[in-house]
Amino acid sequence: MARRKKVYEGKAKILYEGPEPGTLVQYFKDDATAFNAQKKATVEGKGVLNNRLSEFFMKGLTQIGVPNHFIKRINMREQLIRSVEIIPLEVVVRNFAAGSLSARLGIAEGTALPRPIVEFCLKDDALGDPLVSEEHIMAFGWATQQDLDDMVQLALRVNDFLSGMMLAVGIKLVDFKIEVGRLWENDYQRLIVADEISPDSCRLWDIETGQKLDKDVFRRDLGSLSDAYTEVARRLGVLPSNVTHATKPTLIN
């Protein structure tokens, strides 16, 4: 059998050529990285959980009419996605102060923000993904005004959807990051949600206890990352409730 072609390898995922033009296979690795890959580890089962959680969120987004790249899950670690031209910006939405916002502006972690705040960071590891303004984005041609309007609208819809999903299972959505891709259909293009939505790219706090259930567990050495992600999956009904550890999760089909 011919070896399939690797299109791209990132920190947590690999993209392979898909079975049909315009498709890719997205493979979720067990690798965890933080602080621009200065901290690295392998977390057994993380890829399986993120594959399943990203599927769950993307399918939900499709059901409420938010366009995204997900086509179908192929196996434990892989999903079929639409190939898009990734806009070189990370779109961050914040509901509560945390992370770089708290560090930059001195606002205590956990402070409720007066409204969701949308930020853009340039996707450039060498520069540490710096925060950029709309002026920078348009002046340097990373996206147009129309793209920015579309990205903000997509991000706020994802925020409402995810916040509600999480609230229903006792979790506060503090902030998250999405990536957006340009999908060409004949001469027309539209922007869709791409990459992944998982606890790797969200801050999730238990509403009652404030316990962190996201990648900060790894960033700040707060315990088992796979236990935290398994807890999120279990609450959302993605894993059966009797699964207590992520090393060999049983998936519900």
Of 50 and 230, CB closest to ligand UDP: 50
Of 50 and 83, CB closest to ligand UDP: 50
Q: How far is the CB of 71 from ligand UDP (least distance, A)?
A: 23
Residue whose CB is nearest to ligand UDP in the complex, by number? 99
| Of the candidates 117, 140, 116, 120, the residue with the CA atom closest to the CA atom of residue 130 | 120
75 in helix, strand or coil?
A: coil
Query: How many residues comprise the chain?
Result: 253
Q: Are 13 and 28 in contact (CB under 8 A)?
A: yes
Residues that bind ligand UDP (CB under 6 A): 90, 92, 98-101, 129, 175-177, 201-203, 215
Q: How far is the CB of 147 from ligand UDP (least distance, A)?
A: 20
Of 30 and 214, CB closest to ligand UDP: 214
Tokens standing for residue 195: 């990459």
Spatial separation of the C-alpha atoms in residues 202 and 91, rounded to whole Å? 12
Tokens standing for residue 67: 């366009």
Contact partners, residue 132, CB within 8 Å, separation at least 6: 89, 120, 121, 122, 142
Of 18 and 47, CB closest to ligand UDP: 47
Q: How far is the CB of 199 from ligand UDP (least distance, A)?
A: 8
Q: How far is the CB of 99 from ligand UDP (least distance, A)?
A: 2
